[in-house]
């Protein structure tokens, strides 16, 4: 695997190191030792699959607070997504900055999302399928989120949002989140 650190401290794009022969190729998609060597948390508590019927579907921006803060390794296995993370760690030099990357079944990239990063994505194709390896169990009482179109972040989503859950549409704006003390 090839680990490329993003401009957000601790977040990495992980690319496959493909070994090709006449049959196709082989590549390791996860190795606890390699993740540890890059200072990443190699724990997997859950593996989740998300399937999106329509281009433009948006999911996010989600995170969990300690003691249930999650790491994620996100990979699109079919179609394509635009994946976005926001650093929600107040002590971080990249606090409240965001990063986006295109993950597709063709480019086979993954995004490593550290604890206390809000995460969301938009389907770039119909029938987009996404696999998440998550480092903590889903714990509803610790779940938080941010609105995908919060003017503070000004995230440039690649296409019109065509589908979104009621919950994701109604996350608070950052100003309300910080004032409310839930960061």
| Residue 155 in this model has a pLDDT that exceeds 90 | yes
Question: Could you confirm whether 62 is annotated as catalytic?
Answer: yes
Catalytic residue among 62, 82, 98, 119: 62
Q: All domains of the chain, ordered by start, with CATH?
A: 2-179 (2.60.120.10)
Active-site pick, 82, 112, 121, 132: 132
Does the annotation count 132 as an active-site position? Answer: yes
**Model confidence, pTM:** 0.93
Cα 83 to Cα 22, 31, 64, 118, 120, distances in angstroms: 33, 22, 18, 11, 6
- Give the tens place of pLDDT for each residue, 80-120: 999 999 999 999 999 999 999 999 999 999 999 999 999 99
SS3 at position 36:
helix
């Amino acid at each position: 695997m090839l680990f490329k650190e993003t401009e957000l401290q601790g977040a990495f794009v992980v690319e496959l190191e493909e070994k090709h022969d006449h049959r196709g190729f082989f590549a390791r998609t996860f190795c606890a030792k390699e993740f540890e060597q890059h200072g990443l948390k190699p724990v997997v508590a859950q593996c989740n699959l998300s399937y999106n019927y329509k281009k433009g579907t948006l999911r996010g921006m989600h995170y969990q607070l300690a003691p249930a803060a999650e790491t994620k390794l996100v990979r699109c296995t079919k179609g394509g997504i635009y994946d976005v993370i926001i650093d929600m760690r107040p002590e971080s030099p990249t606090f409240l900055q965001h990063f986006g990357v295109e993950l597709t079944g063709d480019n086979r990239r993954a995004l490593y999302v550290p604890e206390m990063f809000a995460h969301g994505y938009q389907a770039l194709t119909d029938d987009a399928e996404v696999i998440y390896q998550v480092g903590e169990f889903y714990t509803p009482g610790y779940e938080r989120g941010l609105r995908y179109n919060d003017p503070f972040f000004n995230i440039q989503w690649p296409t019109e949002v065509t589908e979104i859950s009621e919950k994701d549409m109604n996350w608070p704006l950052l100003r309300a989140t910080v004032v409310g003390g839930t960061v």
